[in-house]
Structure formats: structure tokens, C-alpha cells
């Protein structure tokens, strides 16, 4: 069924208020040592429920505790007045103002729905919401002087999905629901009693309660198996600035639902089973309606049960609504209590659109006012006609009566006078002697008829006046009976109670805010501590890392420096090699004949195994070293082309020879000790000439450190003969750079390598 769109759509959104009340442990529960599993923090409006200890130890699933927040929560110490003053009073005030309002109690059997809604009527402090609302409404009316009120009450029960009028004489009659295009769903033919005071409305309620169905189940002997709805309609009228009466109508539904316990737990069978199924049906439809409303479904299944059809306006419609969820505190009710709390928690999200119901067409108060006016007019109308004829008669008699408005008392007087006149006439007729008996009889008859007509009129007027009185008596106007209703002291007391309730409410709100603030502060503190710890932890890590980094950097610097020095060394070495290579190249080019050179090149090979250059064995035919020819006295026989060149006389002796092919003369140590290198100026000049532009070449072989010199002679080719060794040692000990270097580097793979480049 689509959601109501008439009045509801115009109101301001307002959530259904949901409060929870937990009853005290019953004596039975205390005696059997039940555990309390419910905890309530009224200031925080928080209720927690935890699994019974026995169940936790048996099968803990991790969801052992649940916490919910509601608009108000009441624990086992809460008083009836607390619930009324803090929760119900504002809603009842709104109903008096012309809003629709609903308060319904929902919960497991025996958890205090009836106690909360009705309470114990004989004790004022134990009165529930329904009787307290009676007192409230009539008190409020008594103190409102500007408005006229009409209060009526109805009482019905939904039992096995059929509606029974609890105030009807015929308790077997079942009522039907009817859909009103504008006003929504209403119960056809439902009795409603106008009540003028608290006693009358209490009487209505007592009558209904006597008719209410109750039955015993395993769960609770007196558990109610029906849904009971007590309806109070408060109509009020006020004359506006336009002189017109404006009417407002507020409807209050006070609903005591049947127990919500599950079928299996009640152990019902037969009729009881059918009852329970139907109770469950309307409650489960109620649950579906709540879910559909909360989820914003386009289809809300109001029509699926009588209860939800009747409460349609209260759930998602034009009404202010309060749900009171009741629970028991004991462990064995854990599952049911949790279900109730979840149900209630969902209901918090239902949005209603309450608005004041102004000038509805079917207001009973308006009908009353119109009927009273009509009757008064009727009474006046008759008098008016007579007043006119009397005025005419009086004018004939010379009297002038301008007053058109008649006083009903005048009319009474007039009729009385007429009666007296007729009586007088009757007496004179009876005493008349000049008429015969027939004429006398006829005259008396006429008089009697006139008398009866006057009496009928008097009677009709009395009836009309009584009706007006009756109707007017139903309309209550505040102020008039204030002294009879309440004493001033009561009023002061009531106001103080209201102020206290208001102050308490504000106090609770402040406490709530403080608690929230404290919680927030603690959370922030906790967060701050966590962050501080984290910062400290990170700082320590950072310090450790930076120490590590410093170490790495020191190592890196060391490595770089080491590499740098190694590189410099290598570069120096390279430069040295280049220099030597150049020098050797020079020597080769200048001192080794071309053909010898080529032969030498042919013999050069790289020994992969030893990673060095070596000279191949001399082939006997071609490479065998030529024996030095016998020297001529003072001169040598030139046998190379080169030796013909005699440009430098000092070295002519050598120039005629291929120094590589020559077997060395082992010099006899016949001379003095060697005294340092003396390069012949001509050779020096030749070298300098050749080295032009080669600035970096160091000609003094002594500049090479001894260590390096040692390294350089590390490999001497195997094909070297003893003479070579001798030669080597001779030249190595010599300061003559040319000769030492020549041997050293010719035999070293590295030198040759460099030379090859």
C-alpha cells in the first residue's frame, strides 16, 4: 500500500522516539538465582546486554555483548512519573494542541508493557501512562480559558485478527476497518464516549478492561494475548480574530501490544497456537512495516495486518510517535531482549510528518456547536413570532416595545401568563350564568385544547433546553471550574513538577554532553599518546638509521678515497708505461734494424696461459743469432745498412751493430765503479728531438720507485739464457736508464702490450 500522502506530506519530518524500559528482577527470578545481563546508563541513554556467563563459556562467538543508544532508557529503579513526565508528557501536550500522537509498548510477555501503559490505578504513584494522560488532559483543559474542548474516548482490542469494541454492549460484534480518503483508516461503528472529566474517562477504561481478553500461557499467567488500543480524541475550538470558531483535533492512541515472545517458547497448542500465530502475524507485519519505512521502500505492507492498518498514520504518517520497548533483565530472556532491542533500534529511523489538524470537516465539536445554535435558534424562533404578535397587540394598546431579542425566560413567563389567563377564563366560564350547558362545554373544550397546546410547547421547550444543556455540558471550557478541578496549591505543585522534569531533562542532556566531551577528550588523549609513542619510536629508528648512514658514508668516502688513490696510482703507472713505451718505441725505431724488428715482431706472441707476451723459439735457419763477426782493429765491419750511417761518431761503434742480435760482451770489471748515468749529448739530443711535444715523458729511469721496478721484472721469459740473466742483472744494477729499461720492458708483457698500442 502506498504511503499516506495527504496530511503527512505537509508536516515537518520528525523521528519516532524510542525509549527502553527494563523491569526489576521478579521474586521468582531472584529466588532461582538468575543473572542480570542488562546494564543501563540513563545519563548516556545507553543500554548494554551481554550473553549469560554460562553461554559464553560454552560457545563464545565473539558477539557476547551489544550496546544500543535510545532517546531515553529507564532501568529497574525508574518510577512511573519519570516515564510519564520525561517521555509521555510532551506528546500529550502536542495532542492537546491538535497533533496526532501514538505511544505504544512493545516487548516480551511479562516485561512490563501493561505496567507501563496502565500501571496500578489504585495507587497514584503507580499509575501508568494511560491514567496519567487522563489527569494531564483534563488538568490542561481546566487551565485553558480561551478554548472550548470536547474529549471522547474509544477502546478496542485486536484479537485473532478481529477487532472488538471493548465499550460496546454487544461483545460478539466484530468491527471492520474503513478507508477514509482524507482521514485515512478508521474503525467503522466504533463507540466513542464523550467524557467531561477524569472520573468519566476512567470509567470508560474500566469498562473496556473488563471486556478485554486475557488467557493463561506457560510464560505468564496473566499475559495479555491481544493488542489493546485506547483512543482519546481532544477537540478544541477557539474564536479567531475573524470572529469564526477554529477547531483543532488531536488524536491520542495508547497501545498495549501483545507479548512479542516467540512461538516455541510459549509452548502453546490448539486455539492458543492460532492466537499466538495471529499475534505474531501482526507483530511480524509491524516489523516488516518498520523495515520498509526505514529502508525507504516504496511499498509498505500496512494492509497485511489489522494492527498495522490501524497504526498506519502513526508509522510514517501524520503523527508524533513514541515506542516504549520493555525488557526483562534476566539471563534466560537474553535472546528475546536482544531481539526487542534490535527491533527498537530500527524503529528509531522511522520518520513521521506530524502537523496540527485544523478545521476537519467531521469534528464533533463543530457538530455540537452547530446543533446548539440550531436549537437555540429554534427556541428563539417561536418566541420571535409571538413577540411580534404581542408587539402588535401592545401597539394597539398604545405600548411600544422595541426589544426584538427574546429571553427564553420571558418566553416561559409568557406561556405561564397564557396558562394563567386560560385558567382565569375557565373560572369565568364556569361561573357564567347566561349561557347554556352545551355552549359552556364547548368553550371549556376550546380552553382545554389551548391549555394543552401551551403545555406541549412548554414541554418541547424544556426538552430543547435540556438538550442544549446536555450538549453544552459536554463542551468543557477551562477556567470556569478551576476551583473544583484543582486547588491553587495543586497547580503550583504541578508547575513545579513540570519545571523539575524539564530541569532534569536539561540536566541529563548536559550530563550527556559532558560525558560525550569526556569520552572525546579521552579518545583524543589516547590518540595523542599513541601518536607521541609512535613519534618517539620513529625518532629512535631515525637516529639509528642516521648513525648507520653515517657509517656507510664514512665507508663510502674511504672507498672513494681508496679508489681515487688507486686510480691515481694506476694513472701514474699508465703514464709511466706510456712514457716507457714511447722510449722503447724510440729505441726500437732508432736502435733495432728494421729487418730485426720485423723478425722480432714475428716472434712475439701472447701467452694466454700466463697472460703475457713471449718470444717464440728462434728457428735455426732464419732466426739464429748471428755470431758476431770478428772485429777489425779499431773498427767494426758494418753488416747492416744502418751501420753505414755515421752521423754521430761517438756511437758509430754501436750503430754498426744490431744490438738485439749481438751476444753481449761480458764486460770485465776493469774500470772504476759506475758513477751515475751519462747520456751522450748526441743521444740526448736525438732523444729530445724525437720526444719533441712529448712533455710528460720522464727520461730518468731512476724515478721509477724501487717497488715498481721489482714488480716489473716479475716475469722473465723462459727462453732467456743465462747470459740474458747476467745481462739483466748487469743492467738492472746500472743507472743507465736506456739499457735497463730496454731489457726490463721488452721482456714484460705489459710493456709490449703498451707498445703495441
Ligand X SMILES: Nc1ncnc2c1ncn2[C@@H]1O[C@H](COP(=O)(O)OP(=O)(O)OP(=O)(O)O)[C@@H](O)[C@H]1O
Bind-site residues: 107-114
Quote the cell numbers at residue 98: 491538535
Cell reading at 343: 527491533
* 210 grid coordinates: 473488563
Please name which of 343, 335, 325, 287 lies closest in space to residue 107, comparing C-alpha atoms: 325
**What are the distances in angstroms from CA 311 to CA 138, 169, 372, 405?**
25, 25, 34, 51
What is the smallest separation between the CB atom of 301 and ligand X, expressed in angstroms?
24
Q: Which of 11, 52, 112, 478 binds ligand X (CB under 6 A)?
A: 112
Residue 128 lies near ligand X (rule: CB under 6 A): no
* # chain residues binding ligand X, by CB under 6 A: 15
Could you tell me which stretch among 102-110, 483-491, 678-686, 749-757 binds ligand X (CB under 6 A)?
Answer: 102-110
Verify binding: residue 99, ligand X, rule CB under 6 A: no
Residue 25 Cα distances to 33, 170, 336, 750, angstroms: 10, 40, 16, 107
Q: Is 81 in the site for ligand X (CB under 6 A)?
A: no
Report yes or no: 23 and 76 within 8 Å, Cβ to Cβ.
Answer: yes
User: Which of these segments, 109-117, 306-314, 358-366, 377-385, binds ligand X (CB under 6 A)?
Assistant: 109-117
Residue 224 is a binding residue for ligand X (CB under 6 A): yes
Q: Is 220 in the site for ligand X (CB under 6 A)?
A: yes
Contact residue for ligand X among 86, 87, 111, 312 (CB under 6 A)? 111
| CB 222, min distance to ligand X, A | 6
The residue from 68, 115, 591, 613 that contacts ligand X (CB under 6 A) is: 115
Of 134, 135, 117, nearest in space to 126 by CA: 117
Distance CA 193, CA 202 (A): 11
Nearer to ligand X, 107 or 754 (CB): 107
Asked if residue 215 binds ligand X (CB under 6 A), the reply is: no
Q: Which of 11, 52, 98, 107 binds ligand X (CB under 6 A)?
A: 107
Find the part of the chain contacting ligand X (CB under 6 A) among 218-226, 315-323, 534-542, 659-667. Answer: 218-226
The CA-based dihedral angle spanning residues 748, 750, 751, 754, taken in that order and rounded to the nearest 10 degrees: 160
Is 24 an interacting residue with respect to ligand X (CB under 6 A)? yes
Contact status, residue 278 vs residue 161, Cβ threshold 8 Å:
yes
Site for ligand X in 320-339 (CB under 6 A): 326
Judged by CB, which is closer to ligand X: 259, or 316? 259
Here's the x/- map for ligand X, 144-183, by CB under 6 A: it reads as: ----------------------------------------
DSSP string, 625-650: PPPPPPPBTTB----STGGG--S-GG
Question: Which neighbouring-strand residues pair with 271?
Answer: none
Of 385-444, which residues contact ligand X (CB under 6 A)?
Answer: none
If one asks whether residue 354 binds ligand X (CB under 6 A), the answer comes out as: no
Stretch that binds ligand X, among 216-224, 277-285, 529-537, 748-756 (CB under 6 A): 216-224
Among 114, 236, 280, 614, binds ligand X (CB under 6 A): 114
CB 194 within 8 A of CB 202: no
Name every residue whose Cβ is closer than 8 Å to that of residue 281 and which is 6 or more positions away in sequence: 161, 304, 305
Does residue number 132 form part of the binding site for ligand X (CB under 6 A)? no
Q: Given candidates 98, 101, 110, 749, which one binds ligand X under the rule CB under 6 A?
A: 110
Q: How far is the CB of 163 from ligand X (least distance, A)?
A: 19
Instruction: Mark residues 241-280: x for contact with ligand X by CB under 6 A, - for none.
Output: ------------------x---------------------
Tell me how far, at minimum, the Cβ of 406 lies from ligand X, in Å: 59
Q: Which residues are annotated as a binding site for ATP?
A: 107-114
Q: Which three cell numbers stand for residue 598?
A: 720485423
**Least distance in Å: CB of 119 to ligand X?**
8
How many Å apart are CA 279 and CA 284, to the nearest integer?
8
d(CA 469, CA 68): 55
Q: Which stretch binds ligand X (CB under 6 A): 111-119, 511-519, 604-612, 709-717?
A: 111-119
Sole window of 38-46, 219-227, 232-240, 600-608 interacting with ligand X (rule: CB under 6 A): 219-227
> What's the residue count for the chain?
757
Q: How far apart are CA 444 and CA 425, in angstroms?
A: 9
Q: How far is CA 680 from CA 645, 677, 687, 688, in A?
A: 18, 9, 10, 12
Nearer to ligand X, 328 or 742 (CB): 328
Give the up-direction half-sphere exposure of residue 9: CA atoms within 13 A in the CB hemisphere.
Answer: 6
Question: Does residue 109 bind ligand X (CB under 6 A)?
Answer: yes
591 binds ligand X (CB under 6 A): no
Q: Please, which residues have CB within 8 angstroms of residue 36's CB and are 6 or more apart in sequence?
A: 25, 329, 330, 331
Distance CA 614, CA 720 (A): 10
Q: How far is the CB of 114 from ligand X (least distance, A)?
A: 3
Least distance to ligand X from the beta carbon of 224, Å? 3
Looking at the Cβ atoms of 224 and 744, the one nearer to ligand X is: 224
Alpha-carbon distance of 662 to 657, in angstroms, equals: 7
Q: Smallest distance, Å, CB 315 to ligand X?
A: 21
Q: Residue 301 interacts with ligand X (CB under 6 A)?
A: no
Of 30 and 395, CB closest to ligand X: 30
- Got the DSSP string for 666-712? ---S-SPPP-S----HHHHHHHHHHTTT-TT----GGGS-HHHHHHH
Q: Report CA-CA distances (Å) from 296 to 3, 290, 310, 315, 321.
A: 10, 10, 20, 13, 18
Give 216 or 559: the residue with its C-beta nearer to ligand X.
Answer: 216
Q: Which of 3, 17, 23, 89 binds ligand X (CB under 6 A)?
A: 23
Residue whose CB is less far from ligand X, 100 or 326: 326
Question: For binding to ligand X (CB under 6 A), which residues are involved?
Answer: 23-24, 107, 109-115, 220, 223-224, 259, 326
Amino acid at each position: 500500500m502506498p504511503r499516506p500522502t495527504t496530511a503527512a506530506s505537509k508536516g515537518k519530518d520528525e523521528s519516532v522516539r524510542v525509549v527502553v524500559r527494563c523491569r526489576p528482577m521478579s521474586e521468582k527470578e531472584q529466588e532461582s538465582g538468575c543473572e542480570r545481563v542488562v546494564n543501563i546508563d540513563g545519563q548516556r541513554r545507553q543500554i548494554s546486554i551481554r550473553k549469560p556467563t554460562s553461554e559464553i563459556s560454552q560457545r563464545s562467538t565473539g558477539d557476547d555483548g551489544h550496546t544500543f543508544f535510545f532517546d531515553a532508557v529507564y532501568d529497574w529503579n525508574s518510577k512511573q512519573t519519570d516515564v510519564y513526565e520525561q517521555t509521555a508528557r510532551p506528546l500529550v501536550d502536542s495532542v492537546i494542541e491538535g497533533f496526532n500522537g501514538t505511544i505504544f509498548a512493545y516487548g516480551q510477555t511479562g516485561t512490563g508493557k501493561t505496567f507501563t501503559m496502565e500501571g496500578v490505578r489504585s495507587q497514584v504513584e503507580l499509575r501508568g501512562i494511560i491514567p496519567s494522560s487522563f489527569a494531564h488532559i483534563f488538568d490542561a483543559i481546566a487551565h485553558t480559558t480561551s478554548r472550548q474542548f470536547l474529549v471522547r474516548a474509544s477502546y478496542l482490542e485486536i484479537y485473532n485478527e478481529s477487532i472488538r469494541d471493548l465499550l460496546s454492549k454487544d461483545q460478539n460484534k466484530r468491527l471492520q476497518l474503513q478507508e477514509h480518503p482524507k482521514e485515512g483508516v478508521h474503525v467503522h461503528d466504533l463507540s466513542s464516549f464523550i467524557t467531561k472529566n477524569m472520573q468519566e474517562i476512567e470509567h470508560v477504561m474500566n469498562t473496556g478492561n473488563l471486556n478485554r481478553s486475557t488467557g493463561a500461557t506457560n510464560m505468564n499467567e496473566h499475559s495479555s494475548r491481544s493488542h489493546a488500543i485506547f483512543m482519546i480524541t481532544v477537540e478544541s475550538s477557539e474564536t479567531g480574530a475573524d470572529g469564526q470558531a477554529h477547531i483543532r483535533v488531536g488524536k491520542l492512541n495508547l497501545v498495549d501490544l501483545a507479548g512479542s515472545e516467540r512461538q516455541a517458547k510459549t509452548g502453546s497448542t490448539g486455539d492458543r497456537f492460532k492466537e499466538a500465530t495471529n499475534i505474531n502475524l501482526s507483530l511480524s507485519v509491524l516489523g516488516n512495516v518498520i523495515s520498509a519505512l526505514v529502508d525507504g521502500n516504496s511499498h509498505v505492507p500496512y494492509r497485511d495486518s489489522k494492527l498495522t492498518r490501524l497504526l498506519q498514520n502513526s508509522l510514517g504518517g501524520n503523527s508524533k510517535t513514541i515506542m516504549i520497548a520493555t525488557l526483562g533483565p534476566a539471563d534466560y530472556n537474553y535472546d528475546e531482549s536482544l531481539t526487542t532491542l534490535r527491533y527498537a533500534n530500527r524503529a528509531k529511523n522511522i520518520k513521521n510528518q506530524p502537523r496540527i489538524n485544523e478545521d476537519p470537516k467531521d469534528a464533533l465539536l463543530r457538530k455540537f456547536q452547530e446543533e446548539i445554535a440550531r436549537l437555540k435558534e429554534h427556541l428563539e424562533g417561536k418566541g420571535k413570532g409571538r413577540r411580534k404578535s404581542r408587539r402588535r397587540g401592545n401597539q394597539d394598546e398604545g405600548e411600544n416595545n422595541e426589544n426584538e431579542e427574546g429571553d427564553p425566560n420571558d418566553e416561559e413567563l409568557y406561556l405561564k401568563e397564557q396558562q394563567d389567563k386560560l385558567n382565569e377564563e375557565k373560572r369565568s366560564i364556569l361561573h357564567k350564568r347566561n349561557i347554556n350547558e352545551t355552549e359552556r362545554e364547548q368553550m371549556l373544550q376550546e380552553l382545554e385544547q389551548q391549555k394543552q397546546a401551551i403545555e406541549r410547547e412548554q414541554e418541547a421547550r424544556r426538552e430543547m433546553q435540556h438538550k442544549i444543556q446536555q450538549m453544552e455540558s459536554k463542551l468543557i471550557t477551562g477556567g470556569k471550574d478551576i476551583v473544583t478541578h484543582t486547588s491553587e496549591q495543586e497547580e503550583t505543585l504541578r508547575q513545579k513538577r513540570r519545571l523539575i522534569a524539564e530541569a532534569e531533562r536539561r540536566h541529563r542532556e548536559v550530563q550527556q554532553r559532558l560525558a560525550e566531551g569526556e569520552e572525546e577528550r579521552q579518545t583524543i588523549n589516547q590518540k595523542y599518546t599513541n601518536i607521541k609513542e609512535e613519534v618517539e619510536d620513529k625518532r629512535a629508528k631515525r637516529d639509528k638509521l642516521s648513525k648507520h648512514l653515517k657509517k656507510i658514508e664514512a665507508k663510502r668516502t674511504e672507498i672513494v678515497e681508496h679508489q681515487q688513490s688507486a686510480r691515481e696510482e694506476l694513472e701514474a703507472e699508465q703514464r709511466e708505461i706510456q712514457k716507457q713505451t714511447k722510449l722503447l718505441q724510440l729505441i726500437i725505431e732508432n736502435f733495432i734494424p728494421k729487418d730485426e724488428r720485423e723478425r722480432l715482431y714475428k716472434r712475439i706472441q701472447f701467452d694466454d696461459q700466463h697472460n703475457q707476451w713471449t718470444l717464440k723459439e728462434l728457428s735455426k735457419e732464419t732466426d739464429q743469432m748471428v755470431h758476431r763477426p770478428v772485429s777489425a782493429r779499431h773498427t767494426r765491419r758494418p753488416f747492416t745498412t744502418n751501420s753505414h750511417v755515421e752521423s754521430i761518431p761517438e756511437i758509430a761503434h754501436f750503430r754498426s751493430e744490431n744490438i738485439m742480435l749481438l751476444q753481449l760482451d761480458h764486460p770485465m770489471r776493469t774500470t772504476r765503479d759506475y758513477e751515475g748515468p751519462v747520456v751522450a749529448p748526441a743521444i740526448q739530443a736525438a732523444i729530445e728531438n724525437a720526444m719533441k711535444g712529448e712533455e710528460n715523458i720522464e727520461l730518468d729511469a731512476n724515478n721509477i720507485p724501487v717497488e715498481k721496478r721489482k714488480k716489473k721484472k716479475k716475469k722473465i721469459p723462459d727462453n732467456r739464457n743465462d747470459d740474458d740473466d747476467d745481462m739483466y742483472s748487469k743492467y738492472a744494477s746500472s743507472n743507465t736508464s736506456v739499457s735497463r729499461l730496454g731489457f726490463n720492458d721488452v721482456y714484460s708483457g705489459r710493456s709490449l702490450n703498451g707498445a703495441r698500442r
